[in-house]
Amino acid sequence: MDDEELLVDDARELYEHFRFVADKGQALLRVDKFLTERLQNSSRNRIQQAADAGCILVNGRPVKSNYRVKPLDVVTVVMDRPRYENEVLPEPIPLDIVYEDDTVLVVNKPAGLVVHPGHGNYNGTLVNGLAYHFKDNPDYDVNDPRMGLVHRIDKDTSGLLVVAKTPDAKTNLGKQFFNKTTKREYLALVWGCPSPSPGTIVGNIDRDPRDRLRMAVFDPDLGIGKHAVTHYEVLEPLGPVSLVKCVLETGRTHQIRAHMKHIGHPLFADARYGGDLILRGVNSGAYRKFVANCFEVCPRQALHARTLGFVHPVTRREMFFTSELPGDFKELLDRWRARAAQE
């Protein structure tokens, strides 16, 4: 997932864990009681917390715990991660922990590290590393969806993520993402120079019908996909490429990558969206060699989750974290800066 891949959904990408269809003869019944009767291992209080976090949907829309289920209502329980097919096992994966207290942990994820187990990546993930980090903490259960990562970023995107160490913290942080009060800022190197700057991209995002591994942008009037908004600003034009700051208003799968592709400025080296081709610049052997060397320096989409801000779930103090550009991105940027200085 996502640039951001999280989680109800104006800020989050959610995964269905349970689905129930009310009978034709269903009497009106509060949704928390309806689910308590069907989820034997979940207390009513736990279900109410899930509803508060926007994780209980009826006919595709979040509802509060006092919603009364009607005949043929489709009730789903969604979480901010896929259902794990197997128990997550601890693995001693090095973690760059930026901050930690009894309630939250902020980690700086390197590019190349998958966040969640699943679909061929059942070990060696960030979640496996977190399981090892918390192995001596009796209050943390990596397999309990009420705690853990509050949002995600793509395997080949680097940067900051927040982990909730308690159910209350995850509920609180989930609400902040849902209400769009968190601060999430990315740095991207893109082909060309987006205009106007600053600018805003508004376009629904859904799976590309021609390539299910890629997301596509659709006109909101078509009613396809999920509403998505990305604000951007060109920080440094460098001729054929530009360093751009992107601020997420929503958090869809591949949002920044798909939106920048949509306006004609794919991320540098982003093979999924055509950024691994030479899209700008002169047609010369020397230039082609220069770009090829840049692809080798940073062989992944040039995207970094630089800034993360939220209100601490317990202290209510506003917290901001900033992550330095990783080595591959920094070297890539330095090469383009040096080239621009020579022209």
CA pair distance 137, 200, nearest whole angstrom: 43
CA pair distance 166, 54, nearest whole angstrom: 17
Is the sign of the CA dihedral 73, 13, 17, 100 positive or negative? negative
Asked if 256 and 230 touch (Cβ cutoff 8 Å), the reply is yes
CA pair distance 3, 8, nearest whole angstrom: 16
3-state helix, strand, coil in the chain (%, to 5): 25, 30, 45
CA pair distance 142, 140, nearest whole angstrom: 6
Exactly one of 73, 154, 156, 270 is catalytic; name it.
154
Q: What SS3 class is residue 186?
A: strand
- Name the nearest CA neighbour of 249 among 338, 180, 163: 180
What Cα–Cα distance (Å) separates residue 248 from each residue in 113, 172, 176, 253? Answer: 22, 19, 13, 12
Q: What are the tokens at 108?
A: 């700086």
Asked if 258 and 215 touch (Cβ cutoff 8 Å), the reply is yes
The residue type of 227 is H
CA pair distance 189, 174, nearest whole angstrom: 29
- Name the nearest CA neighbour of 189 among 259, 266, 292: 266
Question: For residue 40, how many other CB atoms are within 10 A of its CB?
Answer: 6
Angle between helices 327-342 and 285-297 (to 10 degrees): 160
Bridge partner residues of 234 (DSSP): 244
**154 part of the active site:** yes
Active site residues: 154
